[in-house]
Structure 1
C-alpha cells in the first residue's frame, strides 16, 4: 500500500537521528525503532493495527502516534492536479476524538508496555472530482501535514482520568458525560466504553437504558 503524505510527513517530523525507519520486528514492519521503543504512526483505522500491536507489546515497548486535525483546510483539485479552490473546514477536532478509534482495543491500554501519543495538527485534505454514469462527487485523495500544534502523551490508564470533568458526580451516564463535556452522545458513549475497558471507570448500575458509572478505585 502506498504511503500517504500525512503519514510520511509525520514519520519525518517524529523521527530522530539514529532511529531505524521501516524496520522489521517479529515479522511486522514498524515505522520507527528507537532503541527498545517501537513507534507506530496511524492516521486512521486503529482496528487494522489491533493484531500487530497486541503481538508486539508482548515483548517490546510500543508507542502509538495518532494525529487529530484541530484545523483542516480542504483543497479541491482537477484530474490533472490543478488547484480549483481552497477553504477552511468548519469542523475542528478535539483531543476527545481519539476515542472514536480507541474503541478498537481499550484493554490494550492496561498493558504497561503500551503508550499513546496524540498529535493535534493542522492539515490539508485534498479532494478530486470522481464521476460515474450516475453521479459526480468529490473524494479525498490525500492528506497533507501543515503543522503539529501540540501533543498529549498517555503512558498508563490513570492518564486518561483527565478526560473526566471535575464537575461530574458519580454515578453518571454517558449522557451526563456528553452534557458536561459538550460532546456528541455517540462520542461520549465510546469514551465511557473505553474508560471502562481501561479500568478507569466501572459500571455500578443502570438508569433507564443507560449504564451508571463511577470512578474505579483500582486505577
Structure 2
C-alpha cells in the first residue's frame, strides 16, 4: 500500500479539509519520512501534522524527527459550530447552533502529553479557530442500561476564522489575561481563580496550570488554605 493510501484510510472530513486548505504549490502530502507518514511536507522542509484529536499519538514521531526537522502541529478548534442531524439518506432533519465555543486555550487539553516540548526550537503548534458543522445521525434512544445512545458524528470544516501560533512557552503564557497575577493577586492565584479569569471549566484550568508550570511560565507560590497557588515566573 502506498504512503498516500495509509494516510487516507485514517483521516476524517475535517482532517482532509484542513490538509487541502493548508497545502500550497510545492507541498507533498502523505510522505514517508524516516518510516513515519507525514501529512504535509513543505517545499522548505517543514513537516506539518494535522491533529484533530489528542497529541499523545504524535509522541513517537516527535521523538524520532523533531531534533532533525522543523515540525508544525496544526490543531483545529471549533470556535463556532452547528449540530446537524441527518437521516439514513443524508437528508437534513434539524440544524441548531451549539452554545459551546472553543478557544485557543483548548490546546492545553492536548499539550498535557508533552508540555515542555513547546520550548524546542524546531516545534510550532498552530491553533486554527474554525467554524464547523458537526453532522450526526438522529437520536437513537437509550441502551439497555438506560444510557442515551449518542452518535459522535463527523466534524466538517466550514471556514477558518483565525489562527494562533504557539512557538515558545512565552507565547503560551500570553494566552493568560495580563491582569491575572497583578495587583492583589501578585501573591498567587488558585486554579479555581484561573478558571474564573479565563471562563473555562475547572478541568481545563488544571491542565493549563500543569502545562504552564512544566513550561516554567508559572511557578509555585505556596498555598492558600488547602489550595496550591501559582504565580508568573
Mark yes or no: TM-score above 0.5: yes
1:105 corresponds to 2:117: no
Greater percentage in strand = 1
1:57 corresponds to 2:66: yes
The answer on whether the counterparts of 2:77 and 2:106 sit within 8 Å (CA) in structure 1 is: yes
1:69 corresponds to 2:81: no
Query: In structure 1, what is the equivalent of residue 175 of structure 2?
Result: 163
Q: Shift of the alpha carbon at 1:132?
A: 8.1
Give secondary structure in 2 for the equivalent of 1:84.
strand
Query: In structure 1, what is the equivalent of residue 160 of structure 2?
Result: 148
Which runs of 5 or more structure 2 residues have no equivalent in the other structure? Answer: 1-8
Query: In structure 2, what is the equivalent of residue 25 of structure 1?
Result: 33
Q: Supply the distance in 2 between the matched residues of 1:132 and 1:88 (Cα, whole angstroms).
A: 24
Alignment of 1:110-129 (within 5 A): 110-129=119-138
Query: In structure 2, what is the equivalent of residue 181 of structure 1?
Result: 198
Q: Supply the distance in 1 between the matched residues of 2:103 and 2:22 (Cα, whole angstroms).
A: 21
Which runs of 5 or more structure 1 residues have no equivalent in the other structure? Answer: none
Task: Report the CA distance shift for 1:139/1:56 in structure 2 as closer, same or farther (over 3 A).
Answer: same
- TM-score normalized by the length of structure 1: 0.91
Which range moves more in the overlay, 12-21 or 87-96? 87-96
Q: Supply the distance in 2 between the matched residues of 1:6 and 1:82 (Cα, whole angstroms).
A: 20
Give secondary structure in 1 for the equivalent of 2:149.
strand
The answer on whether the counterparts of 2:111 and 2:211 sit within 8 Å (CA) in structure 1 is: yes
Query: In structure 1, what is the equivalent of residue 23 of structure 2?
Result: 15
1:92 corresponds to 2:101: yes
**Count of aligned positions:** 216
Q: Supply the distance in 2 between the matched residues of 1:183 and 1:141 (Cα, whole angstroms).
A: 24
1:45 corresponds to 2:57: no
Q: Shift of the alpha carbon at 1:70?
A: 0.8
Q: Supply the distance in 1 between the matched residues of 2:81 and 2:125 (Cα, whole angstroms).
A: 22
Task: Report Cα offsets for 1:92-142 as digits up to 9, x if no partner.
Answer: 112211111111111111211111100000001111145786376330231
Give secondary structure in 2 for the equivalent of 1:137.
coil
